[in-house]
């Protein structure tokens, strides 16, 4: 299995700190969702000019680390986000990252506040732009698209388009009660990248937990994905940037790699 963590989990760390910890702990990659104060990947300092970019790529190669995905907040409902998504494609291509993440909703909670008539042409435009740059845009199972029967049906209509799915295992299970087997049956062939989280419900609230300390069927999901032939990254999305009460990144990252290696 290939294992990464999202930089969402270490909002105060510099890029050298991030890659040093990832290498020391034995990770295979780093998913980029902001570094320190900069959330917009095309403006991250070590990705901006060609000299810094080449130095970054050499560092990653020396440490045997990949960047599997640039996780954007670009929303497919908004025409104004298309150019931002294309900038993510350009940055991913320059880094050799195969995927960028796109959203249908800004928040993980279920919402019907989307328009497929807007989303589909926007997605196809971004996908067409990305194809010649060896980058594939992924829609996350987030918000409306956490209902994976709907998402799977949409992808069947896209046929051979340069698109895929980022399967966040948390949202379909937690918000729609989908069992992993049902979800994977709906979208399995389109899954290119996976987010791992764990949580518990406390009344109406969801509380994120260290992986294995919540009650999501994490092991079962990974077993089913492996059995279905999934070969991409399993990426810990520890949402420390949005919830500073969560355990420190060093604790969460060390625990996750041990957890995954034990499977």
Cβ(137)–Cβ(123) under 8 Å?
yes
pLDDT at site 208: 97
Taking residues 153-180, report their average pLDDT: 94
With H, G, I as helix, E, B as strand and everything else as coil, classify residue 190: helix
pLDDT at site 219: 98
pLDDT tens-digit readout, 120-144: 999 999 999 999 999 999 999 999 8
Percent of the chain surpassing pLDDT 90:
89
pLDDT at site 105: 83
With H, G, I as helix, E, B as strand and everything else as coil, classify residue 203: coil
Cβ(11)–Cβ(34) under 8 Å?
yes
Q: Is the pLDDT of residue 241 over 90?
A: yes
pLDDT at site 106: 78
Q: Is the pLDDT of residue 213 over 80?
A: yes
Give the chain's mean pLDDT. 95
With H, G, I as helix, E, B as strand and everything else as coil, classify residue 238: coil
pLDDT at site 223: 98
Largest alpha-carbon pair distance within the chain?
Answer: 51
Q: Is the pLDDT of residue 115 over 90?
A: no
What CATH number is attached to the domain comprising 135? 3.20.20.150
Please report the beta strands in 104-232, taking only residues with DSSP state E, as ranges in sequence order: 136-140, 164-168, 191-196, 199-202, 205-208
Q: Is the pLDDT of residue 159 over 80?
A: no
Q: Is the pLDDT of residue 112 over 80?
A: no
| Total domains in the fold of the chain | 1
pLDDT at site 111: 73
Please report the beta strands in the chain, taking only residues with DSSP state E, as ranges in sequence order: 2-6, 29-31, 69-75, 99-103, 136-140, 164-168, 191-196, 199-202, 205-208, 233-236
pLDDT at site 117: 87
Taking residues 92-107, report their average pLDDT: 94
Cβ partners under 8 Å of residue 150, min gap 6: 144
pLDDT at site 2: 98
pLDDT tens-digit readout, 101-111: 999 887 787 77
Whole domain around residue 80: which residue ranges?
Answer: 2-262
Taking residues 195-212, report their average pLDDT: 95
CB atoms < 10 A from the CB of 105, how many?
21
Cβ(71)–Cβ(195) under 8 Å?
no
pLDDT band at 228 (very low <50, low <70, confident <90, very high): very high
Question: DSSP assignment, residue 161?
Answer: -
Taking residues 168-185, report their average pLDDT: 97
Phi, psi (degrees; rounded to nearest 5) at 141? -75, 80
pLDDT tens-digit readout, 45-71: 999 988 999 999 999 999 999 999 999
Burial class (CB in 10 A: 0-12, 13-18, 19+), 206: middle
pLDDT-wise least confident of 28-32, 103-107, 116-120, 159-163 = 103-107
């Amino acid at each position: 299995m290939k294992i990464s963590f999202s930089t969402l989990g270490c909002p105060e760390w510099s890029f050298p700190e991030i890659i040093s910890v990832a290498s020391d702990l034995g990770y295979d990659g780093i998913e980029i969702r902001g570094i320190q104060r900069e959330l917009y990947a095309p403006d991250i300092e070590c990705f901006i000019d060609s000299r810094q970019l080449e130095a970054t790529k050499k560092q990653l190669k020396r440490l045997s680390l990949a960047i599997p995905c640039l996780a954007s907040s670009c929303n497919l409902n908004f025409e104004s986000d298309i150019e931002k998504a294309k900038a993510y494609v350009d940055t991913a291509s320059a880094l050799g990252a195969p995927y960028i993440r796109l959203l249908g909703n800004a928040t993980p909670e279920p919402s019907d506040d989307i328009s497929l008539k807007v989303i589909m042409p926007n997605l196809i435009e971004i996908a067409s732009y990305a194809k010649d740059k060896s980058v594939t845009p992924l829609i996350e199972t987030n918000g409306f698209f956490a209902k994976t029967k709907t998402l799977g049906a949409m992808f069947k209509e896209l046929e051979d388009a340069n698109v895929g799915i980022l399967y966040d295992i948390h949202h379909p299970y937690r918000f729609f009660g989908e069992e992993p087997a049902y979800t994977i049956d709906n979208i399995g062939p389109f899954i290119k990248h996976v987010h791992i989280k764990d949580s518990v419900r406390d009344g109406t609230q969801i509380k994120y937990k260290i992986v294995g300390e919540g009650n999501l069927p994490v092991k079962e999901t990974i077993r089913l994905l492996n059995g279905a032939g999934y070969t991409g990254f399993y990426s810990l999305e520890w949402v420390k940037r949005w919830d500073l009460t969560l355990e420190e990144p060093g604790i969460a990252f060390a625990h996750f790699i041990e957890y995954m290696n034990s499977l």
